[in-house]
Chains A and B, each alone.
Chain A
């Protein structure tokens, strides 16, 4: 029997579930705390109290922390962008297609320097190392602590990024450096965007991951800790902390996979209303429909494989302003249970108006009894309109489809929506994310250059290596399946070179 704990740390609630094979045995929900650690500690304590054992096979944590930081434009580190590739691409500088408000928060120094490679591995022009050193000194003088480096064709030849990083380590020893080749994929602008977002989030990621590790240690549970990734698989926490962008859409992926698991439906729309954001996606054959090619995160284009989602700044903790009437995107988040009116606080939130309107019973209803009726009906109408409009935008079929409503704030979803055949609620709906985290699989990925092998042989070799890696990361070898195969020929390199990327996933052992 597999025993797994899944935890979802949202902006508002920390949910935890204990699963034995495919059965949800215990589920708890606690508020996310300011320090994150005590919320996770509390969730684990309650889970153990409810009867979960301390000896489990794995603990999987998924979090929307990093996505929320981008969507809400907060907890972001100002970064220096170093693009290497001049004289190519001079008219489209880093941050070119970013929303202005996000760029204003993240954009520190922007440096474009000569260097980069050709598609066949030859240098484009020599790397301007003197320029790198001068830029590094400017970056240090500007007080920037995180740097994103992107060089032309670095996924094929990372030399320029590695050399730049070495100079940066000498000149800015305290700065975190994200190199674009670590995030893969051909497509300079999108890879650079992912790099800059990662750089803006590494500080937050480090403190958050360490908080999770501490919380697990404090609970007495001894099991490997994994963080969930965009594609519904997990990565060891110690590896994951340097790459927060890999976990960007893991919250929604978990909630959609959780919704499919709990509802037994394979084709439906899913709306996950959290405390801070609402995500709407589409389930096809039990998996989130993936966006083709380009995925926007907080308005920024990237090339990750991610579920096709619409995220809006609406949740149970969203702040309601009275004049003029508005709801979100600012949210009290985890402070809902202190600051929400019904919980004795002074902030008017979406949850408060829902309590006043009788949509849900939470906290002390008397504390919202004096709210003017027009504020309550106006705010609810606004919330319903936001949800209806977003559901409509995600619909790809003119026909009616079912909508599975999950998440702690799903009481905000109207029961009737144009174009929706039925709004479906499931058992454990409020902890669908944690369920999705608990059922996450382990993956193994290999991305390397093979020489003098046929394409089939190279792929077979890569698959074998990926399977070994997945097995050593804790996957059951009997359950491994290949989810991704990509090969890219490299012309003009000796010996018929082929770059192969293979990704396999399997159930945790």
Chain B
């Protein structure tokens, strides 16, 4: 257990935004909340998952909804706190720690917001190792752990407990419907996990990994090194494409932001084109019409100059971007993992081939 500095939370925000693979929402607003909490004297502690007792209870927290909505309905630590408290009331038990559902995007900082309000430590880890759009796309779901109960709260004192669900897909459908009804943004506390479950089925140490990734970008910028290249080197990634955005099409369905972005090549990729499909996060990339990279490999779109990640909702005509791939956590690459998070899980009839294979 160690205290986390506000500088580390700043780095976490940068790293998590890259691991968000275009989704998860920008961590900026969550970061503003944390700066404010730290100014008021709060210090959040980070806990090694191996220090959890087997029967400790861990709250898995996340903000749920469309990133676009999160830019207007600004996140507030009291909402995520209420989701956790409501779960404690429902269970009649207290949590020992909180943990992130997804380390990608703003949800990387939600457990810190909850922890700051609740006085609990944050477990170093998550259950996606990146960001994904749906509840069944977690390492816990891949390990067939129980998916209920779930609490969902809205700023207007609307609150829902999903007491039971027949499957992870059902949990997703039930909670998603509630989320869309309250305006496609809600704070949730997912099915509680025991210390044993976290240790055996979680994606461990992804919080400190995101902090390191952020520090890599910060240090490259400071030294005027190519930040995109620094990320590729530090994380064992691959450059997929470098170009300029020619067209972006988006549509909102069932609370998701779906769409495509088309890119024209620059530098070594001049004369080539790239197309990205997203469902909150980038799901598949095609080079000159042929599938080049697909989920669960992490597809990250970075500003070619600053190395800053660009979210699917912030893609704009004319931006100069680099598309990179980063390796996914091994559990996602198993046959069972691919059922949950492979290209077919997103509606693409493609046989998964990792760019790292």
Contacts and interface: CB of A to CB of B under 8 A. Distances in A.
Interface of A: 85, 87-92, 96-97, 116, 118-120, 122, 124-125, 152-153, 186-189, 284, 289-290, 292-293, 305, 392, 395-398, 419, 455, 483-491
B224 A119 contact: no
Given A186-B72, A187-B71, A188-B72, A455 B319 contact: no
Interface in B50-89: 66, 68-69, 71-78
B249 interface: yes
B306 A189 contact: no
Interface stretch (B206-214, B310-318, B339-347): B310-318
A284 B303 CA distance: 15
A187 B74 CA distance: 9
B83 to A, nearest CB: 15
Given A96-B32, A292-B306, A486-B317, A119 B74 contact: no
B93 interface: no
Contact of A92 (B32, B248, B251, B305): B32
Given A397-B224, A491-B252, 4 more contacts: A89-B74, A91-B74, A118-B69, A189-B29
B314 A292 contact: yes
A484 B249 contact: no
Contact of A119 (B69, B247, B253): B69
Contacts of A153: 72
Contact of B73 (A85, A486, A490, A491): A85
A186 B68 contact: yes
B156 A87 contact: yes
Given A119-B252, A292-B303, A392-B224, A124 B183 contact: yes
B62 to A, nearest CB: 18
Contacts of B36: 91-92, 96
Nearest to A392: B224
B32 A88 contact: no
B308 A90 contact: no
B72 A187 contact: yes
A396 B306 contact: yes
Contacts of A188: 71-74
Contacts of A289: 305
Contact of B319 (A87, A189, A292): A292
Which one of B74, B248, B317 has the greatest number of beta carbons of chain A within 10 Å? Answer: B74
Q: Looking at chain A's contact residues, is the secondary structure mostly helix, strand, loop, or mixed? A: loop
A90 B155 CA distance: 10
Interface residues of B, number: 41
B354 interface: no
Contacts of B71: 186-188
B270 interface: no
B73 A292 contact: no
Interface string B212-233: 0000000000001110000000
Ranked nearest first, the 3 interchain pairs of A and B with the lowest CB-CB distance are A89-B74, A118-B183, A91-B76
Contacts of B69: 118-119
A88 B29 contact: no
Contacts of A305: 316
Contacts of A455: 249
Contacts of A290: 318-319
Nearest to A91: B76
A488 B250 contact: yes
B73 A152 contact: yes
26 contacts: A88-B74, A88-B155, A89-B75, A90-B76, A90-B78, A92-B36, A96-B36, A118-B69, A119-B68, A119-B72, A124-B156, A152-B72, A152-B73, A284-B320, A290-B318, A292-B306, A292-B310, A293-B314, A395-B224, A398-B225, A419-B224, A455-B249, A486-B316, A487-B249, A487-B250, A490-B252
A89 B30 CA distance: 11
Nearest to A152: B72
B310 A293 contact: yes
Contacts of B224: 392, 395-398, 419
B183 A119 contact: yes
B247 A485 contact: yes
B272 interface: no
B184 interface: yes
